[in-house]
Each structure stands twice: as C-alpha cells, then as structure tokens.
Amino acid sequence: MRRRDRSSGLAVVNAATITLDRSSATPLFRQLYDSLRASILRGHLPRGTRLPSTRALAADLAIARNTVASAYDQLVAEGYLEGQVGSGTYVARTLPDDAIAVGAEVEARREPCSGRQLSRRGDLLAATPVAASQTSAMPRPFRAGLPAFDAFPFQLWARLMTRHWRRPSRELLGYGAPAGYRPLREAIAAQLAATRGVRCDAEQVLIVAGSQQALDLASRVLLDEGDVVWIEDPGYLGARGALVAAGARVVGVPVDAEGIDVAWGTAHAPTPRLVYVSPSYQYPLGVTMSLARRLALLDWASRADAWVLEDDCDSEYRYTGRPLAALQGLDRDGRVIYLGTFSKVLLPSLRLGYLVVPPDRVDAFAAARALVDRHSPLVEQAVLADFIHDGHFAHHVRRTRLLYAERQATLVEAASRELSGLLDVRPADAGLHLIGWLPEGVDDVAAASLADARDVETIPLSRYYLQPAPRGGLVLGYAALNEEQIRDGVSRLAQALQRTPGVRKLAPPRHPE
C-alpha cells in the first residue's frame, strides 16, 4: 500500500494503494479516513511519515479536495496526524492507540488503592441500604411497594399533559420556585385538610421528588452529626438510611399494638433530637398508632424539645372504618414535620411527593430543596394540580381502594387454602401488603431465598429490624398483581416453603380439593 520516496521522505499514497468504493453507502471521506488509520496502526505508514498534500492526493484519487481535507482533519483531531505550518502533514510520533494500550497495561498492574477515596459521609451512603428490594424489574408476586399499574388512568393523564404542552405557559418553561408549583401546593393543602385533618396552608407545603427526598431534606435541615434519633423497630429502611447518611445515631424503639413505645424510648434514650414515626399505617407491621399513644408522643416531644417526622404511609388505603387524623393535626407546638408521596397512589416514576413544615421553617426547607435539585419538573406538577383540582384524584383513590381490598381478599383466601401450616397470612385493615408469619424458629431469609428461586419475591421481615426479630415473617405485596398472578404466586410460594428447613416437618400444606 505504501512506497517511500527515499529522497524526500514522502510516503506515496495513491489510487494504487487506496481503494474507494463509490457504490458504498459509507461516505468517501470516511472510507479514506478508515484506510489511512488502518495503514498507520499496521505500520504501513510509519510515525513521522509525511503525507501528500490534500490537492495532490485528491487529484490522484479523482475525488474532491474537501473529501481529503475532511479525512485529514478527522485524523488530526484524533491524534493520528499532525500538521506543521509550511511543511505539510505527518503521521503523529505518539498515537492515541499507544495511550490506550499503555492505559490497559497500567490497569492490569494496578493495586487496590489503600487510601481513603470517599468522605466519611460517602462511606455511609455507600454502605446504607435504602430499600429491602433492590430490583427495578416489573412486578412479580409478591413485590411490595407498588401500586396497580393496570388501574392508572393513562388516557386521562395524557389529555391533561397534552393540554399543558399544546399551549405551555411561560411559567412552566423556565425555572420554578424551589417550594413547588403554587397551584399544586394549594391543591395538596386543601386535600390534606379535607381527608387527613392536616392543619396548614399552601405556604407550608413543599413539593419534593417522593418521600425519600423528603426524608433526606428533613435529615439535612433538622439534624447535626451525632444527634440521637428514635426510629421504629422494625421500620422503613428508606427512613433509616436517610437518617444514618445524615450522621445521626439511630435508636430502634420497639413497636407494639399501639405503635411506637414512647415509654421504652424515654427510658433508653431520653434526649433524642428527632423521632421518626408512621402512625397511620406502620411499615412494615401495619399497626395504627392509638390516639392515646399519639398524645403521649406529642407531650413527650414538647417536653424533650424534639422534632417529630411523620410519614403518612399508605393513609389513603384503609378498608374498614375511617382512619385517625394525622398526627400533625394534633400538634400545637409546630414540631411535627409531615410528609407524603404520590408514588403509591399514582406511579412511582412520577417522583412527586410533599412536605408540610411549620411556617417558621419554610424558608430553610426551601433553601435546602433549591440546593439539592432546584425543583421538581413543572409540567408534571401542573398536570397533578389539575388531576386533584378536577376531582380525578379522589375518584382514583376510591376506585383503587375497592380494587386493593379485592386483591387482598384473594391473597388471604389463596393463602388459607395452600399455605396452611406453612405461612400464617391474615387480612389487614389498611395498606398495600400483608405479613405472612412463619412457624416459630424458621429462618425468613432462607424462606425468601427459596421463594426467589421460584420467581416469587418476598422480603424477610427480619431485614427491617435493628434488634433480632422475635419471629420470622415474609412481607407480601399484592396491589400490583391481578387475581391470576396472586393465585399462581401463592402456589409457587407453597412449593418453596415446603422445602424450607423447619417448615415442612411442622405441618404439611393443604391443597385445594
């Protein structure tokens, strides 16, 4: 492909050494580039070799001069050629592929770095689990924490979205207020007052990217490193993760039939800075905090000068009677921070939630929100504001509440037939999951692992405890599954539990007639 003119040092590159296919869909400049680059890498054009001028090579190849210039320019840009003013174009002395080869050789010899690469907080973040389930795949029996995708009003949502994009207001195209879109804040304040007894106005509502960001912001704003925090034990891993990542020293306070045990917490850690609770539907046990316990918690918090972070988990989904009003509505001292999310009611991918904070703390939370990611997407906020204001939200909650009650009943009925003696599954008054209790002494981690091998996703209850779990159990989500999926999942779960050590010999499963 190449001859060297010994008198001039010029490599002869011409039609005899370069083949261009004019019928190919690949542009001519790219074919020339590929041919020259291959010759350089194979050594056919040694380093330091001077190439013909663009004019000369173009004439020899019978192509446009700009085609040659484009190929040369690309090779210069990538480091294969170098131009010298008044002298010409040469093959580079050091090629980029040399750097790649050297880098690969160094990587192969590299020893693990012994120095600290992350900050102390970075190490905490890396080591702190956020959710019991790490998979992002589509729902399978019995993944918890997902709503019914098949019940979401996609066409209605699309119409509302189109309404805003067809003639978007300038307000929705620029930067928004860190606290959120004002009409959405107003809609949420009205909704919470009517359904949850929350005492607030729109100024106190901040829009966030789901409950996890709400927990993170509250931890940043309210806590210093080393502060003591009460959390429910067992409790929500996302809350524990946010608090630990903020440098807090968490103390797990037991949960009984009335909710978090305030007396136990007072005796064992009397001076916390904050307490995290989910009084409407404690996650994962499903306990509703009694009115007496709520009043005791608020009285203690006032005397201890502590913040109360109220996560109103799954409050929309109560199947018997009316729920107690939010803890925030009973607060007279302005120490309850209230948070909620639309992930379980609508879709997790919307990433929209809210915080309700005391009036004198709004500016601090808004400033923290601005530093994290400025604000949530504005058009989605506007669509959600319309969805609530026009009554669609309330209708969707009523419709899905009936649907979830039916799906829970299906799970309980199927479990009573196929899991008797293997797993005790009883109905719950609220929420989107049930607890299945294993026989005494059975390892719930082993049971969950065997279930996973049969494509059934359950979460060991012990994973939510700070202290050793008193009894093994499995968390079973049902909201995202239709009746056929629930029954099939129960059948496969029964097969797994029959092989779980300590279960099969206690009692054989009952199968349908």
**272: nearest Cα among 310, 233, 234, 309:** 309
Largest CA distance in the chain: 102
What is the structure's pLDDT at 80?
Answer: 92
Tokens read off for 301: 């918090």
Cβ-proximal residues to 505 (8 Å cutoff; 6+ apart), any chain: none
The strand pair at 473-477 and 433-437 is best described as antiparallel
Cα–chain center distance at 316: 22
Question: Which residues of the chain fall below pLDDT 70?
Answer: 1-12, 97-116, 124, 129-138, 504-513
- CATH architecture of the region 3-96: Orthogonal Bundle (1.10)
What are the residue boundaries of the structural domains of the chain, listed by start? 3-96, 124-134+175-390
DSSP 421-478: TT-EE---SBSSEEEEEPPTT--HHHHHHHHHTTT---EEGGGG-SSPPSS-EEEEE-
- For the beta carbon of residue 208, count every other beta carbon within 10 angstroms: 29
What is the structure's pLDDT at 86?
Answer: 78
Distance separating alpha carbons of residues 383 and 392, to the nearest angstrom? 11
- For the beta carbon of residue 126, count every other beta carbon within 10 angstroms: 9
Cα–chain center distance at 446: 26
Distance separating alpha carbons of residues 248 and 267, to the nearest angstrom? 19
What is the structure's pLDDT at 113?
Answer: 53
**229: nearest Cα among 171, 306, 289, 303:** 306
Cβ atoms of residues 51 and 90 within 8 Å: yes
- For the beta carbon of residue 201, count every other beta carbon within 10 angstroms: 13
pTM: 0.76
DSSP 284-343: TT-PPPPHHHHHHHHHHHHHHT-EEEEE-TTTT-B-SSPPPPPGGGG-SSS-EEEEEEST
- CATH architecture of the region 124-134+175-390: 3-Layer(aba) Sandwich (3.40)
What is the structure's pLDDT at 13?
Answer: 78
pLDDT tens, residue by residue, 220-277:
999 999 999 999 999 999 999 999 999 999 999 999 999 999 999 999 999 999 999 9
**317: nearest Cα among 291, 283, 281, 349:** 281
